[in-house]
Amino acid sequence: MASQSEKRVHIATFGCQMNAYDSARMAGMLAQMGYAQVERPDQADLIVLNTCSVRHRAEEKVYSYVGELKRLKRERPWLLIGVGGCVAQQEGDSLLKRLPHLDFVFGPDALGSLPEMVTQAARGKRLALTSLGAPARPVDIIIPAEPGLKAMVTVMTGCDNFCSYCVVPYVRGRERSRTAGEILEEVAALVDAGVREITLLGQNVNSYRDPDGGLDFAGLLARVDQIKDLWRIRFTTSHPKDLGQGLTEALAGLDKVMEQLHLPAQSGSDRMLKAMNRGYTRAQYLDLVRRLREMVPQVALGGDIIVGFPGETRQDFEQTLSMLEEVGYDFLYSFKYSDRPFTRAGRLEGKLDDETKGRRLVELQALQRVLGLQEHQAQAGRVEEVLVEGPAKHGQGLMSGRSRAGRVVNFPGPPELAGRLAMVRITQGRENSLLGELASATGER
Ligand code: SF4
């Protein structure tokens, strides 16, 4: 068994950026207990899974991963295994009953209790902490030892929208915003540690309200914008029904707020949008996009689409395809509908077979590849400000970074540019990136 000073943890993260953020906080708390992070589960004395149940496939992956850990536990009987995140919240202590090799289970609200759970589990106790909405034990602001150029900061958790297909309100609970003071403190500490780009996270950032004074999300952006030595701000996700004028003005007017917006539509058919309980029509969504583009012409839009929602006809699906053409998304996350526990859609009639859903998904993604390429090709000739992250993954001598709109830009340049801003003339648009050449002097803001 490992001694105190040699403790090692492997954290396996599934799902969204919120989970990635929570995993970083888990790593920080465990580091304070003397746990160093390791890459592989077979090197660890403690394995923590941070799970996702938003889609059926994501949940299946979690179960197959947990199943494989049984062998490790047999070989290393001192190994502790904990499951956190949305699957933990959804299944509660039934997970402990079903999977005897698990030591503890904790929902997203119990994150702050992780050190205590590890201590108890090491004493041989098996426990589950999954009550939602209970006052969460606060997690100290934890700045990683090597934070890099970019970091995420959660501004709110949970969701009150109850889209009919979505499990989030049941596993993440109702909306709760962090105070602006706490958020600003965390961003400032990250910037002091060298971070230059912050992504503010929430299931629906437009519902943000500072519990200490009522500041809204546009107001919060204005405050974050004033933090010295921070260069770039992004945020995700925005619910179209809540995207107001204030936020559009912040996108247009605040220099550090990047021209990128993730605005999930989910469908282009009014019938489906109603059944999904999305709270807007196709015309309202398209009107929002038109107004946004008027005020922020360079904005790059991202979307989410669900294909094969119960009752979706070929006609409904074609309306989604035509909406893709009207909007011109820069990037698109698309998924086949799957039943989720607790949800209204799970009880609807008119479920589509997997083959039809699969065919529609392939068709939609093929169209998006063409449209996304057109969006990228239209960037040729522009000069873009790029935050250079380091050498490109592919292509010798190329450096890589992101434009203000969030597009990957690769260009020939010296390695010393890493961590700096460069002006790059775009020469070619490709499917997933842009190619360019260094245009002018580089530096900091
Ligand atoms: S807005 Fe809808 S899809 Fe998004 S998290 Fe809330 S309930 Fe789920």
Tokens representing 18 are 């919120």
Q: Rounded to the nearest 10 degrees, what angle do helices 245-253 and 282-295 cross at? A: 30
Atom of ligand 1 nearest to the CA of 169: 7
User: 381 alpha carbon to ligand 1 midpoint, in Å?
Assistant: 38
Q: Which is nearest to 127 in space by CA: 110, 141, 143?
A: 110
Burial class (CB in 10 A: 0-12, 13-18, 19+), 393: exposed
Residues 384/394, Cβ–Cβ less than 8 Å: no
Place of tokens 């009639």: 349
pLDDT computed for residue 18 by the predictor:
86
pLDDT computed for residue 4 by the predictor:
47
pLDDT computed for residue 443 by the predictor:
59
Task: Report the distance separating Cα 141 and Cα 25, nearest Å.
Answer: 8
pLDDT bracket for residue 60 (50, 70, 90): confident
Which residue lies with its CA nearest to atom 8 of ligand 1? 166
Calculate Rg over the CA atoms of the chain.
Answer: 23
User: 162 alpha carbon to ligand 1 midpoint, in Å?
Assistant: 6
pLDDT in tens, 380-408: 999 999 999 999 988 888 999 999 999 99
Say whether the peptide bond before residue 237 is cis (omega within 30 degrees of 0): yes
Task: Report the distance separating Cα 304 and Cα 25, nearest Å.
Answer: 27
pTM score of the predicted model: 0.90
What percent of the chain clears pLDDT 70, i.e. is strictly above it?
Answer: 96
User: 428 alpha carbon to ligand 1 midpoint, in Å?
Assistant: 36
Per the document, the length of the chain is 445
Task: Report the distance separating Cα 341 and Cα 346, nearest Å.
Answer: 7
Asked whether residue 298 carries a pLDDT value surpassing 70, the answer given is: yes
Could you tell me if residue 214 is left (phi over 0), alpha (psi between -120 and 50 degrees) or otherwise beta?
Answer: left
Which residue lies with its CA nearest to atom 2 of ligand 1? 163
Pocket test for ligand 1, best of 89, 156, 159, 273 (most atoms within 8 A of CB): 159
Which residue lies with its CA nearest to atom 4 of ligand 1? 203
The arithmetic mean of pLDDT across residues 132-160, rounded, is 79
Residues 310/348, Cβ–Cβ less than 8 Å: yes
- Residue 221 gets which letter from DSSP? H
Q: Which is nearest to 133 in space by CA: 112, 116, 108?
A: 108
What percent of the chain clears pLDDT 90, i.e. is strictly above it?
Answer: 80
**b/e burial code for range 351-376 (CB count within 10 A of at least 16 → b):** bbeeeebeebbeebeebbeebbeebb
pLDDT computed for residue 386 by the predictor:
97
pLDDT computed for residue 390 by the predictor:
95
pLDDT bracket for residue 137 (50, 70, 90): low
User: 173 alpha carbon to ligand 1 midpoint, in Å?
Assistant: 11
Atom of ligand 1 nearest to the CA of 166: 8
pLDDT bracket for residue 1 (50, 70, 90): very low
- Helix ranges (H only) for 193-327 are 217-225, 245-253, 270-275, 282-295, 314-327
DSSP 3-state of 432: coil
pLDDT in tens, 205-257: 999 999 998 999 999 999 999 999 999 999 999 999 999 899 999 999 999 99
User: 89 alpha carbon to ligand 1 midpoint, in Å?
Assistant: 17
Residue ranges and CATH numbers for the domains of the chain are: 4-129 (3.40.50.2300), 383-443 (2.40.50.140)
pLDDT bracket for residue 3 (50, 70, 90): very low
Pocket test for ligand 1, best of 163, 171, 174, 241 (most atoms within 8 A of CB): 163
Task: Report the distance separating Cα 408 and Cα 430, nearest Å.
Answer: 10
pLDDT bracket for residue 444 (50, 70, 90): low
Beta bridge partners of 397: none
Pocket around ligand 1: residues whose beta carbon is below 6 Å from it? 159, 161-163, 166, 168-169, 203-204, 239
H-run or E-run covering 444: none
User: 14 alpha carbon to ligand 1 midpoint, in Å?
Assistant: 18
